[in-house]
Amino acid sequence: MKECFKRGMISFAISSFSGVLVNLIIDSIANASGNTGFISMTPDFVAMFPTTALAAYVNALLYGVIGFTFAFMTFIYDVERLGFLFQSIIYFIVTSAVCIGITTLLWQLHKHPAGLICTLAGYAATHVIMFVTAYRNLKKDINEINEYC
């Protein structure tokens, strides 16, 4: 569990830094192209805070929480008594709750139903692709072990 927490903290730092970097690049390009005063956060999200700077800090913190959750929850795959499908379902439920919750807050998706539906569909499709890829790799590994024995 200690190793999972360490992995989560490293992912927290990488996700926060990457989120800030991407926002900085988007803001720089938008402002350089004449859209002065542009910030890559929704006005409704920024309005929840007394200053834009505080909104940006919370934004970076939330990016980190998403990264932490994805990395930390991989511990579920180390629980040998659970089957791969059950592990994947638990991983999907927990990471979905955190990621979709934070994304809805950041992008104010509850005010944009089409955006919420697209985000949910993209997230589900990503997890299906991850599951199929992992299942194929697991099946290949099992076949190789069986051939060796």
Question: How do residues 101-119 score in pLDDT, each as one tens digit?
Answer: 998 988 888 888 898 899 8
Single-letter amino acid code for the residue at 72: F
Residue 43 placed within a domain: yes
SS3 content of the chain, % helix, strand, coil (to 5): 85, 0, 15
| pLDDT tens digits along 60-94 | 999 999 999 999 999 998 888 888 889 999 999 99
Average pLDDT over residues 129-147: 89
pTM: 0.83
Mind giving me the DSSP string for 36-79? Answer: TT--SS-HHHHTTSSSHHHHHHHHHHHHHHHHHHHHHGGGGGG-
1 CB-side CA count, 13 A:
0
Average pLDDT over residues 9-33: 93
Q: CA-based diameter of the chain, in Å?
A: 66
Question: How far is it, in rounded angstroms, from Cα 77 to Cα 13?
Answer: 23
Residue 39 placed within a domain: yes
What confidence score (pLDDT) does residue 144 get? 85
Query: Could you tell me the residue range of the domain that residue 20 belongs to?
Result: 2-112
Percent of the chain with pLDDT over 70: 99
Above 70 in pLDDT, residue 149? no
Domain tally, the chain: 1
Above 80 in pLDDT, residue 120? yes
Residue 7 placed within a domain: yes
CA angle 50, 55, 57 (to 5 degrees): 125
Close Cβ partners of 8 (under 8 Å, ≥ 6 residues apart): 67, 68, 69, 71, 72
Residue 142 placed within a domain: no
Residue 45 placed within a domain: yes
What confidence score (pLDDT) does residue 143 get? 87
Residue 100 placed within a domain: yes
Residue 51 placed within a domain: yes
What confidence score (pLDDT) does residue 84 get? 87
Residue 146 placed within a domain: no
